[in-house]
Structure 1
């Protein structure tokens, strides 16, 4: 049986040859014309000659578009791009002898193969990129570059190596702010306006891929507003400038030299660049970095609802005219939403006059507002008319159960394997009967069609461990799943409590890899 791909390639190649023949025949280099054709060409030569000359003149006078050169731009911005080395102390696996402790065989084995003094902590290093944003030494990078680090060092473009202090981190947007004391004013970069970046615009990326040091790549903005399921605030610029592991935290420049994004993630089946990269827009970076600089953390508004998209079937079932908005699936007790009278089944279609097309829009709009802010939600219930609801936002707390927020934020690994996580305490209050003393993360939601759904994970399952690592809550579980799914591993083993029985469930991780 013939291969359809080969047939398509053969057809495409044949089409190319036919086009070449048509173009080449006109030039007369593929085949000489017959005598009859020559007569026709001679008879019409005078009439056609002047037209040919006019066409040739028009082609010669047409403006030539040259590709931009980036050398001057790179020379201007490169001094403010840095390499980041984060060191984490990792406890070594405890030494185990196969022989009875204290026996002659045990002592002999330890002497030649073991570590008699016991296990020693080891140092693990992670390399990333960053860039200086003011002369005083403030540096922006990704949170995942420095998360868990016991020490952080920054290597400047001039070769100086400086110790860095972590001023603040924001896991929800994967941003971190560092500070170095250089003793003199440092070159720095300005954060530009990412809203002006258009698909097709040229961009330049600088960073430290695979520890190679200052590396420049170029490409274009491929798309805006990308959701890669890493969290509820996803609004990435997609680029085709090659970025790889180690580029994380490095700047993405427009041709004016301003930073329009922070390179953060790649889509790759193999772990290397295939021309699909993602950068955090600079306008979001400005907002987060300002708060990190002021207080070391980011405060966000909190509404207290779990929402889901409205598809055509759901719109029909709810007697809605349009399949858009954020459908409220659950309202957290005593939350701002509950106090405002919002109920499960309501559809939020706007916040403060800004349209909400889905759960991600709602999460981003609410999170962008300061706690204590009063805003107006436009909602629709069933087939009824729209109504305006006044709500005063609370503060989003890191310890809050994620079932009370839009599925997919920090305590959720929905983006990686397709689940939303809640704490055991919150699940107990919701009526889930668990054995006394149970520790772990409760599966609050499973996205249909996700790797978790295909693996058979169910709502109400309790994740007790990831691989051989025990977890005590949603944040630990999310972190462990991310780590287990990185480094080229395609599957994650989850130890799950279901109906009083512990089982292992293997889930194949997603393909959005950190850069």
Structure 2
């Protein structure tokens, strides 16, 4: 017996049964989905895959012997040794592979799985920024000196005719010839991007072409220690190996970053990725195309951030500027009148809060032009002017360390209230420490648990100032530091790496 179809009610549509506020939420989500779709469709024609075959071949194992993934067959090879507990803690050999021994002897998770150049066949991403064939990507995607092949979104392939790189920012420019109909992506203003903004990461993760992920900007102005010049945007949009060089795009369809690195324990996305801001990438790429290299201006100073302890001694807010620790001879900084102890709070009309921000602002200064600089000195604001000067060749390179040793020990004096022992400094001792200074006192010992140790003082450091006053002998140092009735004392110390200020808090 057949049922009467007319008696069966039609299935209810979900949208007809929901309250108004729920419908509004769904419509908002659909609108966001449509925005992601529109941005992806707009930028996708500009996305390219980049394959790099470096000239140096990768050695392959000979013969038919394959190394076992676990040559110890699940057993602990360190059983009965001091490493047995470590193996158990980190989850056996497989777990140990995810960690590395740092210089301080600590086992730490391996991070930034996409940060280093890879030898052998490499696959990354890029984005067309000019219809003449100019493509923006990462240095580590194309480094190696081999053949660089670009695959366009429509499937056409071209061998790069030019490759220009800037390892300091991990930015590279690739040029291809004879490609018609290229669709360039627009570079946006990364300074307008803020924390919480929606972004889309595009690229070739794990070699999977034309992939798109969404997330937000989770932080700005990040320095993570993988390049010499860092000002990364941080995002939780999924970035994986192969995304390097691809665009990070805002909901206007503008490229606001170039995907560069990931923080990862296992080599995949852990929710933290980093991109070079588009403003920095634009400045670097313009110079690479025009000059074949990047010309940077320089100041000629040593700098450090303003911590909370230092801020009170310098009359500024924490992170309220950048502290000058050294002013090198015959540099623009010396010419403009900067002094050690000055705090640069503004450069060219913009606030500077971190050493990275100051460094990048200085380096992008127009050569030959003057820009205003605001400085706090001894609690007072003063105005100076910096003239953009191209960095001397090799200025940013490390000075070679001296291998000579100290031949004899100078008499020492203990300062019990601080927990430090010092000796007079002369030219021979300064030379042995590779420090360009003949004034001050050298730290010879630091008591464990003392105020000096808490401040970071170490043997071999040279103290040149106490509370902004120079000290030229042990007697002057002892008089200055014992005569200081304040709970905090500001010291200027030098090492072979440069100078920095420290605050000693008395117990």
Smaller-chain TM-score bracket: 0.5 to 0.7
Change (3 A) 1:158 1:322: closer
User: What is the CA–CA distance in structure 2 between the aligned matches of 1:210 and 1:387, rounded to whole Å?
Assistant: 53
**Secondary structure, aligned partner of 2:253:** coil
Change (3 A) 1:306 1:80: same
**Does 2:391 align with 1:396?**
yes
Task: Name the counterpart of 1:66.
Answer: 29
Q: CA deviation digits over 1:85-140, x for unaligned, max 9?
A: 122233778x9xxxxxxxxxxxxxxxxxxxxxxxxxxx822211101112221110
User: What is the CA–CA distance in structure 2 between the aligned matches of 1:366 and 1:392, rounded to whole Å?
Assistant: 10
User: What is the CA–CA distance in structure 1 between the aligned matches of 2:58 and 2:233, rounded to whole Å?
Assistant: 39
Change (3 A) 1:282 1:427: farther
**Does 2:400 align with 1:424?**
yes
Contact persistence 2:232–2:275 (CA under 8 A): yes
Contact persistence 2:162–2:176 (CA under 8 A): no
Change (3 A) 1:231 1:308: farther
Change (3 A) 1:316 1:191: closer
Task: Name the counterpart of 1:263.
Answer: 259
**Does 2:147 align with 1:171?**
no
User: What is the CA–CA distance in structure 1 between the aligned matches of 2:391 and 2:403, rounded to whole Å?
Assistant: 19
Contact persistence 1:136–1:185 (CA under 8 A): no
Task: Name the counterpart of 2:202.
Answer: 206
**Secondary structure, aligned partner of 1:369:** coil
Give the 5 Å matches for 1:332-347.
332-347=328-343
Change (3 A) 1:329 1:352: same
Q: How far is 1:75 from its partner?
A: 3.3
User: What is the CA–CA distance in structure 2 between the aligned matches of 1:217 and 1:240, rounded to whole Å?
Assistant: 10
Change (3 A) 1:62 1:247: closer
Contact persistence 1:166–1:176 (CA under 8 A): no
Task: Name the counterpart of 1:252.
Answer: 248
User: What is the CA–CA distance in structure 1 between the aligned matches of 2:195 and 2:291, rounded to whole Å?
Assistant: 35
Change (3 A) 1:152 1:277: same
Task: Name the counterpart of 1:482.
Answer: none
Q: CA deviation digits over 1:242-281, x for unaligned, max 9?
A: 1111110001222332222111111222221011111222
Change (3 A) 1:61 1:276: closer
Contact persistence 1:167–1:292 (CA under 8 A): no
Of residues 151, 154, 158 in structure 2, which corresponds to 1:155?
Answer: 151
Q: CA deviation digits over 1:173-192, x for unaligned, max 9?
A: 22111100134232221212
Give the 5 Å matches for 1:444-463.
none
Task: Name the counterpart of 1:328.
Answer: 324
Task: Name the counterpart of 2:230.
Answer: 234
Of residues 52, 55, 67 in structure 2, which corresponds to 1:89?
Answer: 55
Q: How far is 1:352 from its partner?
A: 2.8
Give the 5 Å matches for 1:431-446.
432-433=431-432
Of residues 111, 114, 134 in structure 2, which corresponds to 1:138?
Answer: 134
Q: CA deviation digits over 1:278-302, x for unaligned, max 9?
A: 1222222222222222112222221
Task: Name the counterpart of 1:215.
Answer: 211
User: What is the CA–CA distance in structure 1 between the aligned matches of 2:172 and 2:307, rounded to whole Å?
Assistant: 36
**Secondary structure, aligned partner of 1:380:** strand
Instruction: Name the Cα RMSD after superposition.
Output: 3.6
Runs of 5+ consecutive residues of structure 1 not aligned to the other structure: 1-55, 96-122, 403-421, 436-455, 462-515
Contact persistence 1:300–1:370 (CA under 8 A): no
Runs of 5+ consecutive residues of structure 2 not aligned to the other structure: 1-17, 62-118, 405-426, 435-455, 462-507
Q: How many aligned positions are there? A: 340
Contact persistence 2:198–2:214 (CA under 8 A): yes
Task: Name the counterpart of 1:510.
Answer: none
Q: CA deviation digits over 1:433-486, x for unaligned, max 9?
A: 499xxxxxxxxxxxxxxxxxxxx9x9999xxxxxxxxxxxxxxxxxxxxxxxxx
Task: Name the counterpart of 1:18.
Answer: none
Report the structure, 1 or 2, having the larger helix content: 1
My pick for the range that moved more, 138-147 or 392-401, is 392-401
Q: How far is 1:308 from its partner?
A: 0.5
